[in-house]
């Protein structure tokens, strides 16, 4: 086996290992995000993010179907923009006033409405990763016309 061939094989092993580690890290982040979602969001947005949580019928503003965020904001989801809806940097009518968001100020470790653009905590990043993982497209591919 020649030296360049050995180097190529070694490089391939390194790339595959790095890919496996990245996939495991992403899976762990999504798992953490799902746990946060179930603890803090599912009561309104539903266990599967469809907007039909147990509190939804009594709310003045119906909760959003979080599985369709990519239809409005693009895919992949823009992390900072979605994070700002969650952590209080952006107004979301259904989340209540900025001085007392529905989830409580201490849960995200940033004072509601006071964070700066690009300031996303690990908890919020995990939650956004989970939301990305549940995105569904409502676009349907039209069936091709078949001449008869």
Please state, in angstroms and rounded to a whole number, the distance separating the CA atoms of residues 23 and 111: 32
Residue with more model confidence, 114 or 77: 77
Structural domain contains residue 128: yes
Q: Using alpha carbons, select from 49, 50, 68 the residue that is nearest to residue 137.
A: 68
Question: What local confidence, expressed as pLDDT, does residue 93 receive?
Answer: 81
Structural domain contains residue 55: no
Residue 82: which domain range? 8-33+66-133
Q: Using alpha carbons, select from 67, 41, 61 the residue that is nearest to residue 53.
A: 41
- Phi and psi at residue 22, to the nearest 5°: -65, -40
Question: What local confidence, expressed as pLDDT, does residue 81 receive?
Answer: 93
Return the minimum-mean-pLDDT range out of 53-67, 94-108, 121-135: 94-108
Structural domain contains residue 24: yes
Q: For residue range 40-86, list pLDDT tens digits in order.
A: 999 999 999 999 999 999 998 899 999 999 999 999 999 999 998 88
Percent of the chain with pLDDT strictly greater than 90: 45
On whether the pTM is more than 0.75, the answer is no
Residue 114 has pLDDT above 60, yes or no: no
Structural domain contains residue 3: no
Tally of domains within the chain = 1
């Amino acid at each position: 086996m020649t030296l360049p061939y050995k180097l190529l094989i070694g490089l391939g092993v390194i790339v595959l290992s790095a890919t496996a580690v990245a996939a495991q890290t992403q899976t762990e982040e999504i798992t953490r995000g799902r746990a946060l979602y179930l603890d803090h969001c599912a009561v309104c947005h539903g266990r599967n993010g469809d907007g039909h949580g147990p509190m939804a019928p009594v709310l003045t503003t119906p909760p959003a179907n979080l599985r369709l965020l990519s239809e409005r904001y693009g895919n992949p989801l823009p992390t900072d923009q979605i994070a700002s809806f969650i952590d209080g940097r952006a107004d979301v009518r259904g989340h209540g006033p900025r001085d007392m968001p529905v989830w409580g100020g201490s849960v995200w470790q940033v004072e509601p409405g006071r964070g700066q653009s690009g300031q996303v905590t690990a908890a919020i990043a995990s939650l956004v990763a989970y939301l990305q993982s549940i995105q569904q497209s409502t676009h349907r591919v039209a069936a091709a016309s078949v001449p008869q």
